[in-house]
Structure 1
Amino acid sequence: MNLMLPGDAHPTWCVCLVSNDYLGFSQHPKVKAAVIKGTEMFGTGSGASPAIGGHFVYHHQLEKKIAEFYKRTDAILYTTGYTANSATLQCLLHKEDIAIIDMAVHASVYEGCLTTNRKKFMHNDLAALELALKNAQHSYRTKMVIIDGVYSQDGDLAPLDQIAELTHRYGAYLVVDDAHGIGVVGDNGRGVIEMHDAFDQVDIITGTFSKALGNIGGYVIASPEIINYLKFQSKQHLFSTTATPAILGILKAIELVDEEPEWRVKLWKNINYLKSGLINLGFNVGTTASAVIPVKVGDIGKTLEAGRLLLKAGIYTNPIMFPAVAVKDARIRMNVMATHTTAHLDKVLEAFSDVDGQLHISNKYR
């Protein structure tokens, strides 16, 4: 995917590595056609919050479709993926409860836990998780372990099977945000939950439509009782105008995950090509196992300079630094898409090689 950036004199065409549109579905003709059809049928807006007339047939269809995607029956929609986390957790957890969270979860989870007790554990550290569960076992009304499926900065995966076993052993609920896993990870694109066949082991599934499904909005999938409670008690859902008819594109995108698996095959071909190329050049890509590939630099100054040089070479990436990651863990973060070509990725690798020659940021110089 090429992206043209405006400049003072001449626009620059860049290889885009900052988009979460992993399968390229925001540009898929069938998805676009579904969006156009929805707009022609229903207009450009929904006009009201769900409780006073803003819940239309297309909202109901999408709730059922995303729930069935994860072998469930009930879901609730939010206008953003961020809100799906923050609003749901604020609604379910209060001063008598505790959230036990992996320290690497998304900012929306941290916001959702502002009204409750909170205990962080080191990223993917099962011993630390068990200790937190033991300490909380008899002290709180509701105990909730909250993790990501795919983590957005390192691109690594949660050991979901082990976390689920620990969580339920100590009487807690398990919440999994698999925003970066849906459509990407798993034999059929059902994310980390599918990898571990944990459909019946996760109590609450959250995610977004703004990544592999190419639209916008968020969802929560849970038991009928929890979903019904959220629909009438979650203020951000109850008092927000519902999503526009353009979400009919999401219905088609969900279907395409199964109907056209070749996009996921192409994505993984690109992931493996870029990842192996970077490793062969001596770069540290950590433990990524997804479409998120970091090149870990460490030094903030060098990371910023690498981002500048890459952009100058026509490679649009994200330099990531504190507070998004630890002070000494700055990196260049990239998102791979199915729509990247081999020529795009070769250009990326060539640019990284040139930058390394100038800044000495690979393992060859350590």
Structure 2
Amino acid sequence: MDVQVKQDWMSIRRVNTTAALTTAYKEGLTGFTVASRVGKQITLQEGGVYTEFVSCSYLGLETHPALIDAAHRALDTCGLHLSSSRSAMRPSYLPQLEDLLGQVFRGSSVAVFTSTSSVHLGVLPLLGSGSLAGYPVKKRVHWLMDKTAHASMQVLRGILEQFGSVSRVEATDAESMAAALNECSNKGETPVLLIDGIGSMSGLVPISELSQQLESAQGYLYVDDAHGISIVGRHGAGYAFSAVGHSLPTNVILAGSLSKAFGGAGGFVVVSGPQDVAIIHASANPLIFGHSIMLPMLAANVASTQIHLSEEIDVLQRRLWKNVSLLDTVTNNQLLNAGIQSPVRGALFETEEAGLQAARALRDQGMLLFPVFYPIIARGKAMLRFAVSADHSEQHITLLGAALQALSRNGTWTPTNSELAPV
């Protein structure tokens, strides 16, 4: 019998991955081991002080005195950890954090997880099974996975298929979405679109328009806004929540991160009502069988949320966008994402070797970044990813701009601000 076995995604990735990332590790162009830091200046274990454009702490809150003091106090009062699932025992910081986040996402309810990936693992099966009272499923779900959705959602395909079919779509392509929604309608299925709000490498997604499109199809929009949290919106509620007017539509679920611009650690989900938070607390696998966030980080999360609910968050946001705007100016709007409200910028290279050569040149000038290759971007190409922070100085930004312009002049980098094609 001739049985054809479909090659799994990991094998496909392994076969198509080159030695570029290994080379970057060996040459000290990524995988940096940090011994100490002051602001955006880091000292590496092997020596040398560099300006980093790697950290996703876009507002600099990870070194804020209020967060550090809160972590120290938690250590003194409760130690490192309460080693228990939240259903058995939980620190006082956990309900306090969820209540405060409820004030940030006014009119909605919030449940906290140990990571954004754990949010996906806990919430999506509940959504797919029709277990969430506020998000009923009429027959069977049909998952519409945007081609640029984060890997932490894409890797769950095998789990998602237990609840319904999975199709890859281009959420920003009207024809792709119309065809997918029409198929769901013909089969009597409930469409659920899984997308990123702000991509970790590129782009913004039209949240409000997609929410309305899914509502017309009696479907749901699930947004991973990990990179959008804190950097925009009232109280730093993020890109996705601000895009819908700071009022969560009844067909939208938001997943967010406490580990990036928020400055702490963990993830959370925002749903339309408290009844679904109760279901999530009782039934989400990572909350039943996993532990809560380490105590010092929980306390730091509470301190960060208090900053978000103060005027200080507005000051930090303005500093961030001033730096982002400056980088666009000194690079003549030639970087990926130029001109859009994202703290991530990228320089694209037609070959992996050109990207490695550019990373070497920038390191030689005291600047560290994140070089990426397949499977993050198309096979054979490279991108240097720059994460801009409110903590960067004007000099940091102008030196980076001058270095990139020099790479353009010597032919190492041919600027383009075109979008990354989905892998």
By the TM > 0.5 criterion, same fold? yes
Counterpart for residue 253 of structure 1: 304
Secondary structure of 1:101 counterpart: strand
C-alpha displacement of 1:245: 2.1
Q: Which of these residues, 211, 226, 234, is aligned with residue 260 of structure 2?
A: 211
Counterpart for residue 146 of structure 1: 194
Structure 2 distance, partners of 1:138, 1:83, is: 33
Counterpart for residue 153 of structure 2: 109
- The yes-or-no answer on 1:171 pairing with 2:218 is yes
Counterpart for residue 351 of structure 2: 299
Structure 1 distance, partners of 2:329, 2:393, is: 16
C-alpha displacement of 1:184: 0.7
Gaps of 5+ in 1: none
C-alpha displacement of 1:272: 0.5
Structure 2 distance, partners of 1:363, 1:208, is: 31
Structure 2 distance, partners of 1:120, 1:299, is: 27
Structure 2 distance, partners of 1:336, 1:52, is: 41
Question: RMSD value over aligned CA atoms?
Answer: 2.2
Cα distance change of structure 1 residues 73 and 161 upon mapping to structure 2, 3 Å threshold? closer
Secondary structure of 2:300 counterpart: helix
Q: Which of these residues, 54, 57, 61, is aligned with residue 96 of structure 2?
A: 61
- State whether residues 351 and 382 of structure 2, in contact with CA within 8 Å, keep that contact through their aligned partners in structure 1: yes
Counterpart for residue 240 of structure 1: 290
Structure 1 distance, partners of 2:388, 2:415, is: 22
* Superposed CA offset, 1:231-282 (max 9, x none): 22221221111112221211221221233021111111001001221126x5
- The yes-or-no answer on 1:265 pairing with 2:314 is no
* Superposed CA offset, 1:32-89 (max 9, x none): 1111122222221012011222x23211111122122111342222111221123322
C-alpha displacement of 1:316: 0.5
Cα distance change of structure 1 residues 121 and 168 upon mapping to structure 2, 3 Å threshold? same
TM-score by length of 2: 0.79
Structure 1 distance, partners of 2:169, 2:340, is: 20
Q: Which of these residues, 27, 39, 55, is aligned with residue 63 of structure 2?
A: 27
Structure 1 distance, partners of 2:175, 2:227, is: 25
Of 311-320 and 165-174, the range deviating more from structure 2? 311-320
- The yes-or-no answer on 1:162 pairing with 2:209 is yes
C-alpha displacement of 1:90: 3.5
- Alignment size in residue pairs: 358
Counterpart for residue 224 of structure 1: 274
Amino acid at match of 1:28: H
C-alpha displacement of 1:170: 0.1
- State whether residues 283 and 362 of structure 1, in contact with CA within 8 Å, keep that contact through their aligned partners in structure 2: no
1:107-146 paired onto structure 2 within 5 Å: 107-115=151-159, 116=161, 117-139=165-187, 141-146=189-194
C-alpha displacement of 1:93: 2.4
C-alpha displacement of 1:163: 0.4
Structure 1 distance, partners of 2:384, 2:262, is: 24
- State whether residues 67 and 73 of structure 1, in contact with CA within 8 Å, keep that contact through their aligned partners in structure 2: yes
Cα distance change of structure 1 residues 198 and 25 upon mapping to structure 2, 3 Å threshold? closer
Amino acid at match of 1:63: E
Amino acid at match of 1:224: P
Q: Which of these residues, 96, 106, 122, is aligned with residue 87 of structure 1?
A: 122
* Superposed CA offset, 1:185-225 (max 9, x none): 23542222213415232521101100111111111111323
- Identical aligned residues as a percent: 23
Amino acid at match of 1:132: A
Counterpart for residue 407 of structure 2: 355
Structure 1 distance, partners of 2:237, 2:106, is: 10
Structure 2 distance, partners of 1:78, 1:363, is: 40
C-alpha displacement of 1:330: 2.9
- The yes-or-no answer on 1:75 pairing with 2:110 is yes
C-alpha displacement of 1:286: 5.5
- State whether residues 137 and 171 of structure 1, in contact with CA within 8 Å, keep that contact through their aligned partners in structure 2: no
Of 271-280 and 314-323, the range deviating more from structure 2? 271-280
Of 23-32 and 305-314, the range deviating more from structure 2? 305-314
- The yes-or-no answer on 1:199 pairing with 2:257 is no
* Superposed CA offset, 1:277-319 (max 9, x none): 1126x55555642101112223222112212221222111111
Amino acid at match of 2:53: L
Structure 2 distance, partners of 1:225, 1:141, is: 24
Q: Which of these residues, 350, 375, 398, is aligned with residue 323 of structure 1?
A: 375
Structure 1 distance, partners of 2:98, 2:157, is: 25
Amino acid at match of 2:231: V
Amino acid at match of 2:77: M
Gaps of 5+ in 2: 1-39, 130-138, 417-423
Structure 2 distance, partners of 1:27, 1:322, is: 32
TM-score by length of 1: 0.91
Runs of 4+ in 1 over 3 A off after TM superposition: 282-288, 357-360
Structure 2 distance, partners of 1:355, 1:85, is: 40
Structure 1 distance, partners of 2:188, 2:363, is: 50
Structure 2 distance, partners of 1:67, 1:52, is: 23
- State whether residues 18 and 318 of structure 1, in contact with CA within 8 Å, keep that contact through their aligned partners in structure 2: yes
- State whether residues 293 and 333 of structure 1, in contact with CA within 8 Å, keep that contact through their aligned partners in structure 2: yes
- The yes-or-no answer on 1:40 pairing with 2:76 is yes
Secondary structure of 1:114 counterpart: helix
Structure 2 distance, partners of 1:141, 1:285, is: 35
Secondary structure of 2:400 counterpart: helix
Structure 1 distance, partners of 2:344, 2:83, is: 36
